[in-house]
Structure formats: structure tokens, C-alpha cells
Amino acid sequence: MTAERNTERNTEPFTEPNTERNTEPFTEPNAEPFTEPNADAYLWAEASDATEPDATVPLIDPRTGRIRGSSPVARGPRVAAAVRAARRAFDGWRARTPRERSRALDRLAGLIEEHADAYVALERAGTGKPAHEAAGEVANAADLFRFYAWAARTQPAPAAGGFVAGHESWVRWEPLGVAGVVVPWNYPLMMATWRCAPALAAGNSVVVKPAETTPDSLLLLAEHAGEALGEAVLQTLPGDRETGRLLVASAVDMVAFTGSAEAGADVAARAGTRRVSLELGGNSPVVVLPDAPEDTWSELALATTYNAGQSCAVPARVITLRENYESAVSLLADAMGERRAGRDFGPLNNPDQMGRYDLLMASSTAVVMATGESAPGTGEEDGFWRPTCVLADLPDDDPAVLDEVFGPLLTVQAADSVEEAVALANEVPQALAASVWTRDVAAGLDLAARLNAGEAWLNCHLVQTAELPHGGRGSSGHGTDLSTLALHAYQRPKTITARLTLTPRFR
């Protein structure tokens, strides 16, 4: 990785060297033939009620920049038909016992595992991520459905017993009805599973709207859900942003949305008084103390480049003390420079995201800009590749510090004390995730507790499991994903109190 110090503001967007466009379709060696799921066969249970012709949007392979197909765009009648079908399916799904729902969800997990290669191919088609990343996420999705299959049978009640003399009381957790789920393009299957699995375990039916660029794996999920859960219990509704707005405004009973803060505010306004769960992105601080473990830099580089940095909880803002600032910049630059786009991690997802990333890079006033290299494969020269980048010697109000970058980039800031490091970490509006790096476990745990984040790590980052909750604060949204706590986002309590004797109290 090369580092240069700039004294003038860079106003030109970052671009990689341009190469001659390759118009031949890209194929991997020994790749299985790709077959898109048949959306028309199972997408809308009431297709006869939605007679308007479907518009389509082109789908682009982010590794090559070339069109790879098209996807239908649902509009009002299609959205309404899907929600009506989900409403009918809800009555039968909620009536099943927890044991029956558990077995159905376990069967869906098994279908995902049985067809894992197909899911991996579909995930890669829309995201361009490396095969090992996609395979891990497909395995996580299956594991999460299996976790909530178990959780469906183990729901705790907050109170039960004789709280009033002569009466017995208990609390029932009831499903909300039809859940409208809108998910982003960075983890198409996994983000949908984070939302759909607890919603289904709680007894709701679901209509899920994938991102415009990545409908592929969720179409297959809907097909397998029809087989495992029943018709229209889980439906996929592909489309664009307007499709998402129509779903939010439809007759769904709650909305679970994962995306930007701006879009989340719009979702909340459209949802009105209905239940809303929002996961709206992050800008994770990473507090690195002088006694950080030796592998801190390589671990941060791995976490930052996973999914090309397109993760809400990815490391973003490295904050050091002044005494270890220069060494931190150098060691981070070296570690990030070892990671190459195309060889070690995938591309950005779409032209809009690439343009946004380039604009943030161009608007940064960082004096130090250390950039890595890209190594796209044959036929991938026009893909949405961006190399790693470390920005340092920049003001605390730099756009790359304040905004969620969503790319393979780290900023580095210096603090005069641990107290100032905590203040820098907590001064942005996003509060989703954070990490602390130090050999002093006690001090690290104390710092982790002081960081304003829904999830904090010590000497690691992006370590998550189905058993532990994940959720944001501030402009990162509200609500809970993962763990049994997520069930309550899709349920409402009902208190029932019964008088134990029918003897009249007054004669």
C-alpha cells in the first residue's frame, strides 16, 4: 500500500485505471450452470387480481459491470395481492402449535442446506462477493432458521400467577399479523433471515421486499418456504424503492426495515402508528490503545474488507492515543495494503454506491491517503472495484468521519486521553457497533461499557451468533435482531385474568 500526504483538497472523484471493456460473458471455471428461480410460479398467490403488466429493471453483475438479466417490479395491485394472500395464510400459520411451526421452520433450514450451492450462486450473482463469504452467509441463514425453530417452542411469559386475590392471571404473546419486511443488498439472504425467521417463529406471515439489485436468493427462499411452511406464509415481492414504499403503506400490521437513516425515517412516517423495527446503519468506532494485541491490524483489515466493507457494523473510525497514532496509521496501511479487491474481497454493489463512495473520498480533506490495489479477474475490469484505503490527519468533522462510508475504508483519529477517545467515539449520531483493542481486559471491558453502541467487542470485531442480540441506538434505529429477544419485535402481549370462583360477591 502506498501513502501520500496531500496538502491540497482533492476534488476529483477516485477512479481506477481504465481498461478496455470486455464484452464476453464472465464464467468461473467449473461453475455450475446458473438458473434463475421461476418467480411467476410462486411469487404472488393472487396473480389473477394483479393484471397490470409488470415492469422490469435490469440486473447488473457488480464483478463485471454488465447486465446479467432482469427482475420484475411490483406495483400497487401486485403488492395488495401479496398482502391479501399473506393475510389468508396468517390464520392457518398462527393456528399451528409451536411444535408444528418449529418443525416447519426446521424443514426450511434443511432445504437451504440441501440447496446451499444454488443459494451461493444466487447470492454471488447479485453481490459479486467471494464464494467463501457467500457460503458462510448461506450456512448462517440456515442456522438462524433452525435457531428460531427452537425458539418458537421456548417463549417466556413475563408474569403468571395469583396477583389478585381470587383470580389467576397470565400473559399470552400473540403475533401481530402480516409483517412487511424490506431488506438491503449487502447481505440479501442473511438480512432477510434476520427479519423473517423471528417473525415466522412468532406466528406471523411475511411479505419480504429484497433490494432492487439482489432479488435472486429471496426468490428461491420463497419457493422453498412454500414447500416447507405452506402457501403464502413467506412471499418475496421483488421491485424497486417505490415497491418498498407501497409495501410499507399497504395493509401490513408491522414493518421491519434495514437500510439508511433517511429511508428509515420515511418508513416510520409512512407506517404511522403501526409497529416498526428499524436497523439504520452504523459508523463503528474502533478504540485502539497503545497495548493493543499484535494481530489488531490484520484483524481490523479482515473485518473492514469483509463484503468490501459494505456492512452496517464494519470497523470505520479508528481512534488512538497520540502516543500510538503514527504507528497505528503505518501498521493499518500495511495491513490494509495486503488485502486486494478482486482477490481477497468483492466489489461495491452498484453504480450508485460506487458514486457515493467516490464522492466521500473526493470530499475528504485527509492529508494522508494510503490506498491499496485491485486485482480483478479476466473480464472483470469494468466491475465496481474499489481498493482499500486508510485516511489520516483529517479533521473530526470530515465527511469520511461523520458519514457511514460503506466501503473498504478506515479513518484514523488521535485523542489526547482515553476520556477524549471515548468522547470522539460517541460524538457521531450513529450508535450501532464498536470495538476496543487492548491487552488489559479489565480496562477494555470498562471502555466497551462506556461506548454508545448496541453491540461492542473487545479484541475482535463482527463476531456475531444467533444467541446474542444486535440492535442500534440513536440514528442507527431501534429494535432487536437475533436472539430470543427479537421475537418480541413481532409479538404483542395480552394479559388474561380469570376469576376463580363464580360465587356472587353480593347477595
400 DSSP 8-state letter: H
474 DSSP 8-state letter: E
Amino acid at 52: E
Query: Which residues make Cβ contacts (< 8 Å) with residue 116, sequence separation at least 6?
Result: 135, 138, 139, 142
Secondary structure percentages of the chain, helix, strand, coil, to 5: 40, 20, 40
**In terms of Cα–Cα distance, which of 210, 207, 196, 267 is closest to 238?**
210
Radius of gyration of the chain measured on its C-alpha atoms:
24
Catalytic site residue 279?
yes
220-243 exposure pattern, b = at least 16 Cβ within 10 A, e = fewer: bbbbbbbebbeebbbbbbbbbeeb
Three-class secondary structure assignment of 285-326: EEEECCCCCCCHHHHHHHHHHHHHHCCCCCEEEEEEEHHHHH
The widest CA-to-CA distance across the chain, in whole angstroms, is 97
CB contact at 8 A, 236 and 38: no
Looking at 212, 223, 312, 380, which residue is catalytic? 312
* Count of Cβ atoms closer than 10 Å to residue 503 Cβ: 8
CB contact at 8 A, 319 and 396: no
CB contact at 8 A, 494 and 506: no
Amino acid at 435: S
Scan for cell 400459520, then name that residue.
Answer: 93
CB contact at 8 A, 348 and 310: yes
CB contact at 8 A, 330 and 364: no
CA angle, residues 100, 102, 103, in degrees to nearest 5: 65
Nearest-angstrom CA–CA distance, 456 and 432: 9
Looking at 123, 133, 223, 279, which residue is catalytic? 279
Catalytic site residue 196?
no
**In terms of Cα–Cα distance, which of 193, 183, 296 is closest to 239?**
183
CB contact at 8 A, 362 and 278: no
Q: Known catalytic residues?
A: 279, 312
